[in-house]
A and B are shown apart, each in its own frame.
Chain A
Amino acid sequence: RKEVEQDPGPFNVPEGATVAFNCTYSNSASQSFFWYRQDCRKEPKLLMSVYSSGNEDGRFTAQLNRASQYISLLIRDSKLSDSATYLCVVTHGSSNTGKLIFGQGTTLQVKP
């Protein structure tokens, strides 16, 4: 079983749609959680951290459910520029290892 699992998609949605991505992780000791965005043939970049109480950044909302070991990302009012691959990322265990575990990514394609 992969440590971080995501539905690879692709998710094809029209502009203006709301879309949600889910991610599950296997290590209950993981402490920090993130969503990274990766454009085609480019490097990953941090989109947002995921706080225990959930957090919002503009059109993006991230949620964490520790009991179910589940993370989500909600994108409202999708834009063409949101088309990318979204990587779910968790820290490796509870210690300060600096190691991140990346999911394989969920691809989003926003259509006009």
Chain B
Amino acid sequence: DADVTQTPRNRITKTGKRIMLECSQTKGHDRMYWYRQDPGLGLRLIYYSFDVKDINKGEISDGYSVSRQAQAKFSLSLESAIPNQTALYFCATSDARTSGSVEETQYFGPGTRLLVL
């Protein structure tokens, strides 16, 4: 079984709809992240969480919200989806003990392809 899972894997929705993307991990990591990937722009950080009570905005948090329901679960919500939120969304985890070092690794889920019509 994959260590980091995301649901759904693909989603088509309409402008104005609320949508939630979910992420679960079995790696026991305390840190979790949400990114979006757009062609030519690379991965951009939306939100990140260092533990259940610690949520931080990334570089492109407008239009998104998150919830860290447990150490293993981190969900991303689009309150009112718009077409420019069409992208590939990745969840990732990392171990705080390696943070900032050359040993740091972020482990990514398989991604959610979201299309907003």
Q: Which residues of A contact B (CB under 8 A)?
A: 4, 8, 31-34, 41-46, 49-51, 87, 91, 95-100, 102-105
Cβ–Cβ < 8 Å partners of B64 in chain A: none
Question: Given A32-B104, A49-B103, A91-B100, are A44 and B50 neighbors across the interface (CB < 8 Å)?
Answer: no
Judge if B99 is at the interface, Cβ distance under 8 Å.
yes
Given the complex of chains A and B, what is the CA–CA distance between A33 and B101 in angstroms?
Answer: 9
Q: Is B90 touching A43 in the complex (CB atoms < 8 A)?
A: yes
Question: Given A51-B102, A98-B94, A98-B100, are A45 and B108 neighbors across the interface (CB < 8 Å)?
Answer: yes
Question: Given A98-B31, A98-B48, are A46 and B100 neighbors across the interface (CB < 8 Å)?
Answer: no
User: Within the complex, which residue of B45, B100, B109 is in contact with A31, where a contact is CB–CB below 8 Å?
Assistant: B100
Judge if B106 is at the interface, Cβ distance under 8 Å.
yes
Number of A-B residue pairs at CB separation under 8 A:
61
Given the complex of chains A and B, what is the CA–CA distance between A51 and B94 in angstroms?
Answer: 19
Cβ–Cβ < 8 Å partners of A32 in chain B: 100-102, 104
Given the complex of chains A and B, what is the CA–CA distance between A78 and B113 in angstroms?
Answer: 31
Cβ–Cβ < 8 Å partners of A31 in chain B: 100
Judge if B96 is at the interface, Cβ distance under 8 Å.
yes
User: Within the complex, which residue of B58, B99, B105 is in contact with A46, where a contact is CB–CB below 8 Å?
Assistant: B105
13 A-B contacts, Cβ less than 8 Å apart?
Answer: A4-B42, A32-B100, A42-B110, A43-B110, A49-B104, A96-B99, A96-B100, A97-B99, A99-B45, A99-B58, A100-B104, A104-B41, A104-B42
Q: Is B108 touching A43 in the complex (CB atoms < 8 A)?
A: yes
Cβ–Cβ < 8 Å partners of A41 in chain B: 111
Q: B102: nearest residue on chain A (CB-CB)?
A: A49
